[in-house]
Amino acid sequence: MVRLGAVNGLNLRGARARRMLASRAMNIRIIAFATASDILGKEPVELTIPDGSSLSDLRGELLAQYPELNKLWPRLAIAVDGELVRGDRELLDGCEVALLPPVSGGSGGPDGVGSNGTGGRTGLTDLPIDVAAMERSVVDPACGAVLLFLGNVRDHHAGRQVARLGYSAYRTMAAKTLARIAAELEAESAERGVRMNVAIMHRLGEVPVGEASVVIAVSSPHRDAAYQASREALERLKREVPIWKREHYVDGETVWREEESLVEV
């Protein structure tokens, strides 16, 4: 944990100083991902700033201490306590601010499982995805169509040989967003009078060529609805879920794939 900051240039000592600082300051926890973590580091940063500070004030503090962020900042989405924020807002003591670069725009037991009506069928895993279990999770006697989508790691990109991919995520927000996507797809289908079951699992960490980084399973009474829901689940995952992809090439170079800014829903 890195601790930074001071309050209004005060230079005090002893217990009186600590009391005055505590009454006039608040602690903010900063976490960074992908290219932002290359600048701030992978460990959370604890920043002490004046009480009542806003996101714009925090931005000024961060850019002063990390000048390399200046070029990246216009591309960042900001989340406060796991929720995307647009524009400025006042921060509260103890809140968590996440710096979220654009996501990769796709690929493809859980340790971050969803609820929200999906029965624990969504989440993140650090292990190979159990495709058979994903299929079983959506099997339903009322559904004649069961569709599986596997997003496997391919061995090339833009003419370069790929050795493996590395995935990282803002886990709490990613797990919640996956659950919401599945629940909303099921609810929208139910409003049309069509039963549907949706499961989405994304793998994190290093994924070798040929293995699945994401698996989506959908069941519905007929195939058209299953195909449509599977595609929508994947496209929404690309846009809305804070998961980042780093390509590891055979020649040893690594590159973050940051293509689509996270969207607020």
Tell me what the pLDDT averaged over the chain comes to: 87
Contact between 112 and 191 (Cβ < 8 Å): no
Sheet with 197-203, strands from edge to edge, namely 122-125, 197-203, 212-220, 145-152
Domains and CATH numbers, the chain: 2-100 (3.10.20.30), 122-257 (3.90.1170.40)
The whole-number pLDDT of residue 233 equals: 98
The whole-number pLDDT of residue 203 equals: 97
Identity of the amino acid at 184 = E
Question: How far apart, in Å, do the first and last CA atoms of the chain sit?
Answer: 31
Which residue's entry shows tokens 């060529």? Answer: 209
What is the enclosing helix (H) or strand (E) of 214? strand 212-220
Between CA 35 and CA 39 the distance in angstroms is: 7
Residue 196, phi then psi, degrees to nearest 5: -155, 145
Nearest Cα to Cα of residue 96 among 105, 107, 83, 109: 83
Residue 43, phi then psi, degrees to nearest 5: -85, 145
Contact between 167 and 244 (Cβ < 8 Å): yes
Query: How many percent of the chain have pLDDT more than 70?
Result: 84
Residue 104 pLDDT grade (very low, low, confident, very high; cuts 50, 70, 90): confident
Mean pLDDT over residues 157-176, rounded? Answer: 95
pTM of the model: 0.81
What is the enclosing helix (H) or strand (E) of 172? helix 171-191
* Other Cβ atoms within 10 Å of 48 Cβ, number: 16
Mean pLDDT over residues 201-216, rounded? Answer: 97
Per-residue model confidence as pLDDT tens digits over 49-69: 999 999 999 999 999 999 999
Between CA 101 and CA 113 the distance in angstroms is: 24
Asked whether residue 84 carries a pLDDT value surpassing 90, the answer given is yes
- The Cβ-side half-sphere exposure at 117, using a 13 Å CA radius, reads 13
Per-residue model confidence as pLDDT tens digits over 170-182: 999 999 999 999 9
Tell me the three state secondary structure of residue 132: helix
Between CA 227 and CA 250 the distance in angstroms is: 35
